Structure 1
Amino acid sequence: MRIKAYLLNCFLLLLPIILWNIILIDYLPESYSTAIFDNNIPKLISYSEIILRFILFALPIFMKLSIKTKLQKIGLLAYCIGLILYFSSWIIMITNPQSNWSQSQIGFMAPAYTTLFFFIGIGLIGNKAFFKFPYLSLIYIFLSLLFVISHSTHAYIVYMRL
């Protein structure tokens, strides 16, 4: 297989998310700052979140980026919906942090739980690996669910302290 084929992996789908976070993280309300958001979080939640995030961002490097099958097209739709929801949750939080939505539990936690949609999309799009890896999509989606649970629990703890 040519090197170009290896470069077309599902990690490319994470680039908009990574760039978004890097560029806009400082514009989120203070409650999302590292000093507040990461303060005194139980180690089980914190460590599981870190480990799962690493796996979810590393595994797509080995997943082929292809949108040919019906399942992959459904994955692309889930990914796009996920991006829209995730980006929207940030935009609302940045532009209107005092709104009822931003101050509510569901609004405050939205940047955590909306990630599930784009992670499921990546799992469905990258259902084939560059090497034999049975049940890759199911494993990725399962790990995504575990990550969203830990990340949302983290956000819930922070929200309850505010």
Structure 2
Amino acid sequence: MSSSLIRIIRSNSFWLLIPILIWNVLFAHWLPRPYQPEVFWHDIPSLMVTMEHGLRIAIFALPTLMVFRSWKEARLKGWSMYLIGVAVYFLAWSVQMIFPASVWSQGVWGMLAPAYTPLIWLVGIAMLSRPIIPRFRGLVWLFMGLSICFVVVHTAHVYLVFVRL
């Protein structure tokens, strides 16, 4: 394996998604009933489902084409945005799991929190990343645009679940 390929693998932006994926796999079944697949995906318009899945695939695939910016470029702002975003996202899930009957969890902002808080860590990933191939300068902006679209569609989906309760 060439040293440049090893460097790309080691500094690939996809690594930033690993904590999110692990969290989701470990704790999704602990979320309250409205988030469970039989309720969450019931009677959601097929266009919304298709958009949500397609955007999710795109925002999880695009980081494989990006690597970390240099420490000088990304240092404090990017890492702060990413780490704060991950913490807020985990907190949004935790409140739903630990206090599902609370006013916050039962309210619209609390119910939607696991859907809209990913925008913070997604912005962090964008701030920390640059394209592997310099010619694709717009890749980070494409990632950011698709991330915004995903969060909007995902939040709208959770809102539909919320109004059905």
TM-score bracket for the superposition, by shorter chain length: over 0.9
Residue 155 (structure 1) aligned to one of 154, 158, 163? 158
Matched residue, 1:23: 26
Matched residue, 2:8: 6
Q: Distance in 2 between matches of 1:154 and 1:6?
A: 35
Q: Distance in 1 between matches of 2:114 and 2:39?
A: 16
Deviates more, 1:44-53 or 1:133-142: 133-142
Q: Distance in 2 between matches of 1:72 and 1:125?
A: 8
Off by >4 Å, runs of 4+ in structure 1: none
Residue 102 (structure 1) aligned to one of 86, 101, 105? 105
Amino acid at match of 1:91: S
Matched residue, 1:135: 138
Q: Number of residues paired by the alignment?
A: 162
How far residue 129 of structure 1 moved from its aligned partner, in angstroms, is: 2.2
TM-score by length of 1: 0.94
Residues 66, 29 of structure 1: alpha-carbon distance in 2 compared, 3 angstrom cutoff:
same
Q: Contact conserved, 1:112 with 1:155, CA < 8 A, in 2?
A: yes
Q: Contact conserved, 1:73 with 1:125, CA < 8 A, in 2?
A: no
**Percent of aligned pairs with the same amino acid:** 35
Amino acid at match of 1:37: F
Amino acid at match of 2:19: P
Q: Contact conserved, 1:82 with 1:118, CA < 8 A, in 2?
A: yes
| Structure 1 stretches lacking a partner, 5+ long | none
How far residue 67 of structure 1 moved from its aligned partner, in angstroms, is: 4.5
TM-score by length of 2: 0.93
| Structure 2 stretches lacking a partner, 5+ long | none
